Amino acid sequence: MKPFSTLIRLVWLLALPFSAPAQTAFNASLQTTANGDLVLHWPGTDNKLYQIESSPDLSTWTARPGVITGTDGEFSTVVRTAGTTDPARQFWRVTAADAAAVVAIGGDRQVSLTWKIIPGTSFYRVKRGPHGGPYALIGTNTHPYFNDTGLTNGTPYSYVVSAVAGATEGADSAEVSATPTALGTELCLVASRTTGVAPLSVFFDVTPSPQFADGSYIDATCLWNFDADNLDPAAPYRTGNGFVAAHVFDQPGTYRITVNAYDRNGARSALETTVTVLPFTGTTYYVAANGLDSNPGTIDAPWQHFSYAVGRIKTPNTRVLFRNGDTFHTTFVLNTAKGPIILGGYSAPAAPSSAKPVIYSDAVDTDWWTLVVGSDWRVMDLAFTSGGATSGRSGTPRYPGALFINTNDRHSLLYRLTEYNVSNCGMNVGGRYNTEALNEYRDCGASGFCAGGNGVAVIGNWTHDSNNNKPEHGLRIQGGTRHYVAHNIFDDRYANFDEVTIRGDTDKIVLYRNTISGLLGIWPQNRNSANEHAHHITADSNLFLGKSGYSYNRMSAISLHAREITIRNNLFSDYSYQITVEDDTVIGPSSDIRIYNNTAVGVSHDSDFRFVLANSVCARLDIRNNLLRDTTGLNAGHFFLSTYGGTGALDGFSDYNRFFSPGWTEAQKPLFPLGTLPVWRAATGMDLHSAIIDPLLLSLDAASADFGKLSPSSPLKDAGTRTPVAVDHFGNLRDAAPDIGAFEIAP
């Protein structure tokens, strides 16, 4: 192999029409992975744009197609793949610039424009023209972004943007230019951190990759292996799927993380990185119910009180362990010292116990929380409770919630906790790169309020048996960006059938392999601001369980007042409506909704069972490879697709779907807005490859491991069409002729 040289410099993107700030140096490095790829690493910063350039001679530089969007974390991208013929010499550099008032990024046959929000603006006007003008209006938007599509690759385009408030239009922005370019498939991976003390939570993100600059990451399949070398085979959830993902590394070691990504066209790219997890080294203190605060805090002479022990933490590398089986009474404790800091439990040699230590709040009508912590804390293997779960409504006592991470803090982990009989929000995580994993929340007055977070992970938790005093959600995400919600069970929420809700302004959310009893709602927060729309969200491989006790007779599984949403590989059992796509008086109609390879089974014999209910003003719905399996026969209120409002037409496309219930025939069963399948086909040209046919499912029982699976002889095998869905509900690769529904039959 010929030697490689590297040049890592910071310069400013010359194409931006704004004065450049002073240059600042930053560290970058090259690393060869186990498979022979050469990977460039550098630390990222929010609101920066990065571009990779290479040169054989330090004189002529060539930019790789696409711009990488910056965020906080360590960036990795392959600059030379394994097996590539080496040049005699090669240099690389990273160019970076502050995000300006208007930023133009060239993509494949399109240019994406973004700009900063101008308060008081009614909408924005986007204009295009030759360099220097004149510019012609090409579109408007109420939000600070615009995609100009249908362009010619290799041709430069220039833009200006103006803000309109009422009847007044402001001045045009400075001109920005970009050239559409066919993008490569190189991945750029951002890790929130690459080393730290066990247990270590790490957040991963591939959305800055140039090929995803147009937002197409919501259609991508990104398969993660967080332990490619099998260092910790007992760890749960060692794989994942999503454009963002996260994992808790429980044991020390150097882990190899791989990601295989398939873009919306099926092109595959791969990348790997490493995370080094260190054992705890520092000072450990012990606390027991029969201890004394005047003791030194050793295992033989422990402290006594929770508040005293936590208050003594002043420096990083401090661990405080509470004796298993003991109960510690306390009131509000605040400690925002910077970690690594660990709060946990221990089994005393003289009195072994596996019961978690109980932290019991005695507060009534005084404290909102029991414990508030800062950055890089690990609160684990404890139980939190109080005197009740009521929240002060209707004259009831107000008991505190359990834990809160300050919104300005980061890298903290709430791990293997039990929270019960508390008020406020049992599941509460915000801030940056904070994680809740493997916790149980039960008998809580409210739970799941996550506001303004960035890089938040909610993994493997169980929330159930909610208290009816304050009906709330199992999980509520409000604002922020980049959330990974995976492998959770949101159960038994009869107090509010809105089990999981995502409120705008929120984007870049992955919902993967969750079990949700109730409604997933994606809509604006309180619907009172045009800036509060939710967008760019993927719901993948979840199990939705309807129950007859919900209001409005089982209602919906997924309700959308949103844009740019992908719904794929999900299983639905016993809902009136599987997916509703709605208009909104503030943000406007839902649009760009992809619905692929889902399986819905109807069990209850009532008036409504519909796969998609859409307002006809909603735009660009794509409905393919889905299965509707009814059990109720000729019920007049059971449809595959139903529309309302406007003209009643569908703005979008539907095909390669399957429907079945005993007694249904294509000639007599109305399944579409215009009637039967033949009538719908003739009027719209859609569903030409759809059919009524028995799918031969292994089980219709949602409690069965075979629920929704196709039998080996199913006529749905190889009957679908290619969509961006690269794998099935269980992560098995789909072949060139994919099966219909959530599962792929193994070849």
Residue with tokens 């295989």: 260
The C-alpha atoms of residue 548 and residue 604 are separated, in whole angstroms, by 8
Q: What pLDDT score was predicted for residue 605?
A: 58
pLDDT on residue 553: 44
| Euclidean distance between CA atoms 345 and 303, whole angstroms | 14
Of 684, 678, 712, residue with least CA distance to 696: 712
Q: What are phi and psi of 458, to 5 degrees?
A: -130, 105
Q: What is the pLDDT of residue 42?
A: 82
Burial of 365 (0-12, 13-18, 19+ CB in 10 A): exposed
DSSP characters for 124-176? EEEEEESTT---EEEEEESSSEEEEES--TT--EEEEEEEEETTEE-PPPPPE
Distance CA 137, CA 300 (A): 77
Quote the Cα angle for 99-100-104, to 5°: 85
The three-state secondary structure class of 694 is coil
CB neighbour list of residue 167: distance below 8 Å, 6 or more residues apart: none
CA distance 39 to 42: 10
DSSP SS3 for 390: coil
Q: CA 158, CA 102: separation in Å to the nearest integer? A: 12
Q: 194-215, pLDDT tens digit by residue?
A: 999 999 999 999 998 888 877 8
- 573/580 Cα distance (integer angstroms): 15
The DSSP annotation for 471-525 comes to: ---SEEEES-EEEEEES-EE---TT-S--EEEEESEEEEEEES-EESS-EEEEES
Question: Scanning the structure block, which residue is given the tokens 């109420």?
Answer: 142
CATH 2.60.40.10 is held by the domain 102-178: yes
What angle (nearest 5°) sits at the alpha carbon of residue 92, between those of residues 90 and 96? 165
Spatial distance between the Cα atoms of 460 and 438, rounded to a whole number of angstroms = 5
CA distance 738 to 741: 9
CA 16 to chain centre: 31
**Two tokens at 493?**
């929420």
- pTM for this predicted structure: 0.85
C-alpha span between 385 and 676 (Å, rounded): 56
> Among candidates 606, 608, 641, which has minimal Cα distance to 622?
641
Other Cβ atoms within 10 Å of 744 Cβ, number: 26
CA distance 353 to 38: 50
Spatial distance between the Cα atoms of 472 and 463, rounded to a whole number of angstroms? 12
Rg of the chain's alpha carbons, rounded to an integer? 27
In this predicted structure, what is the pLDDT of residue 16? 24
CATH of 10-99+184-278, one of 3.40.50.300, 2.60.40.10, 3.60.20.10, 2.30.30.240: 2.60.40.10
- CA–CA dist 599, 640 (Å, integer): 12
Q: What φ, ψ does residue 285 adopt, rounded to 5°? A: -115, 155
> Alpha-carbon distance 145 to 115, whole Å?
6
Give me the residues paired with residue 404 across strands. Answer: 372
Enumerate residue ranges in the chain where pLDDT < 70: 1-27, 47, 49, 65-67, 86-88, 96-100, 119, 183-185, 425-426, 446-449, 466-472, 492-497, 526-531, 547-554, 605-607, 634, 636, 646
Count CB-CB contacts under 10 A for residue 451.
18
What's the distance, Cα to Cα, between the start and end of the chain in Å?
41
Q: Which pair of structure tokens corresponds to residue 553?
A: 């007779």
Indicate the residue type of 223: L
Q: Which of 100, 93, 15 is nearest to 52 (CA)?
A: 93
Determine if residue 217 is left, alpha or beta; phi over 0 gives left, psi from -120 to 50 gives alpha, anything else beta. alpha
Q: How far apart are CA 199 and CA 249, in angstroms?
A: 6
**pLDDT for the residue numbered 265:** 86
Extract the tokens encoding 77: 């991208």
